[in-house]
Structure 1
């Protein structure tokens, strides 16, 4: 028993000595670890970007299809043109910016008829959230094994991750917190980040040259039709009887024929303008570091790389 107690005492002393004298990792090794973390971040960013590119391509195809199947026929329809004519008349009573106001109204309809239905399946906001999650998952996967490759105790590696800010500001979060959050949305700093960078597709159409041109031509045509219709009604009232009615019907029929003949050109112009606007919007959503589909990824990767460039206390 005495020998057993002595052996146990020696074992406890040995363990205490090991605990008080942990593995010391050199500054050179830590620099190599940091370099690998940076490489892992860039590789994860590339994976997220590939996902965003493919998803935005699918979003664009669906939006263009919905435009051709729903919005273009609606715009060219007889009753829509009648309704637009009434709106243009109302706009002109209040101000002279009927073109801009018509463009804004068309944008509201486009949001309701095209963007919102497509968003039930896919949207820039969903793409952004998906890309950001892919970045975090890929980064977590690529960080596995770095500590073992460099002989760094896992506890010290975790401490390094805790010292790296991944999300700046208030609330902020370390890289360790970001990787361990499950689900990610429950991390206050992550939720706040997504809110800051949330994409807002569909800018102001009134400043878009193509859409403004369509609105201008539509407005001018509707104003001309209303003027002709008003003159015909006045003459018809003066003439009276069957002749006056025939005159009004004749002008209405002529207007319908003109619209029918003008419809292919009007549809083609609107389709080209919308296609150009959508392609510009898609590229803007891919490039924007503030509100684009990769904004969350760039915010995280940029903060992590900036944090890796700061001095760090490498003591265990």
Structure 2
């Protein structure tokens, strides 16, 4: 009989579906450690807009507050860091729980993606960053669409950093990084749990969540970040900051700003679900009890 691979529990779902609460609950139930798979929560100082989770002691959490907003953080780097965090959790006898809404991060780890090794093209990046600042993200998306029409359907086109990287890779190898990736031999026995929430309930949660962000200091957080970093930085393109920047310039009222953040969050959640629905291995649950039953059976298998 072959030896079982190390266990890895993965929690996925759209923004505001309750992933974090479920992950904390399961960490308590199964003596786990959390490994965040969120491309925004890796940035220090970006706390309110990203709804960062700070789990109660003694639950350990990895890969939050990893780099500063003016530093780049690639999928490949996340894969390396996540594997290190997962290995350290196993060494402590804990169950690693990979949780987040960034599909690229999740699959790079679970499927052991062999990503194309295209080094940064600083000249191209400077040009694209200048284009982003002068002509806006839609201009870059059109450039990417010309290089590969399929690309715009496969990545988060609201994420300037991902669009710039996709253009960079496409320009170098005539393909974009999702098509160029290859699955490697898996390192884990992974169970993927997805949270399903009724659309109207999810939208209402998003509205309350965004309102809470404004009450918790999203405007002040944005001001502080803009005093240190230009709005053209890829990290500043995350939902919340561009909209609040418009509010600070006076082009949006506070209510219009809130509504815009809610709308963009909902649109992003739909793109997230486009990813997850393609994965037939995800077990969709509606609550904690249902998730526990599947996990107990998987652990005992």
TM over 0.5: no
Q: Which has the higher helix share?
A: 1
Of structures 1 and 2, the one with the larger relative CO (CA 8 A, separation 6+) is 1
Q: Which has the higher strand share?
A: 2
Bigger Rg over Cα: 1
